[in-house]
Amino acid sequence: MAQRTRAVIVDIDNTTLSCDQRRAALCAEVAGRPVLEDDVRQDLYCARLLTSAQQASYFDAFLSTRLMFMDQPYPCAAETLEAVRSSGARIIFLSGRFLRPVDKSKATLQFMRQYGIFKEGDIAIFKPSMDVFDFDFKAAEIESLKKEYEILWAIDDTPRSLRIFKQEGIYSIAITTSYPPARFDFADLIVDGWDEVLARIQRGELIV
């Protein structure tokens, strides 16, 4: 049996790219008052700031392409991904950013190339439609990817998505950008930022 290519699976929103500026701006529009980036950290739906009805309006706006240009790579994300590439492992971006009704893939890849996040040899898989649940989409894709790749680990900011990797026997890394650490009590590793992931790679504590 041919040896499978080593790979890591990486989420985009609030994992590789910080959406906090965009989220704060959209939340401020809905709330009708200034909102800071720190106000939305570890609060994906802005539950501390908005009513239930306002949260729905905010998240609808977040799912649009408006203000996507405000997203920024997290510190050390590019350096960590480069360390993975240098080891010979492949990077697979598995994202809930969708292709329909609006195709977010082109703008996303262009942006990630600009910041050295996405490079030749990387793979990007986007959700086919906004109507598909992230959980179902990622579960199906992981089953397919495991047939071709040896998945070393996966990093994600959402507990529900990360549980899929855990259930599939994949080493799961939770980054606490959208939820507090307590929500990831099941994860193999919990980090506050990419610098912690890079340090573990450099110390040989995380396989690449």
Tens of pLDDT along the chain (208 residues) come to 568 999 999 999 999 999 999 999 999 999 999 999 999 998 988 999 999 999 999 988 998 888 999 999 999 999 999 999 999 999 999 999 999 998 999 999 999 999 999 999 999 999 999 999 998 999 999 999 999 999 999 999 999 999 999 999 999 999 999 999 999 999 999 999 999 999 999 999 999 9
DSSP codes of every residue in 158-181? -HHHHHHHHHTT-EEEEETTSS-G
Tokens at residue 123, please? 């793979």
- Separation between Cα atoms, residue 127 and residue 146, nearest integer Å: 18
- Separation between Cα atoms, residue 151 and residue 89, nearest integer Å: 9
Amino acid identity, residue 106? Answer: K
- Separation between Cα atoms, residue 173 and residue 54, nearest integer Å: 31
User: Considering only CA atoms, which of 197, 190, 191, 143 is closest in space to residue 170?
Assistant: 143
**For 19, what's the count of Cα atoms within 13 Å in the CB-facing half-sphere?**
28
Q: What is the pLDDT of residue 175?
A: 98
Q: What is the pLDDT of residue 44?
A: 86
Residues 46-67 have pLDDT tens digits of 999 999 999 999 988 998 888 9
Q: What is the pLDDT of residue 206?
A: 95
- Separation between Cα atoms, residue 48 and residue 55, nearest integer Å: 10
pTM of the model: 0.93
| Residue pair 156/11 in contact by the 8 Å Cβ criterion | yes
Q: What is the pLDDT of residue 2?
A: 66
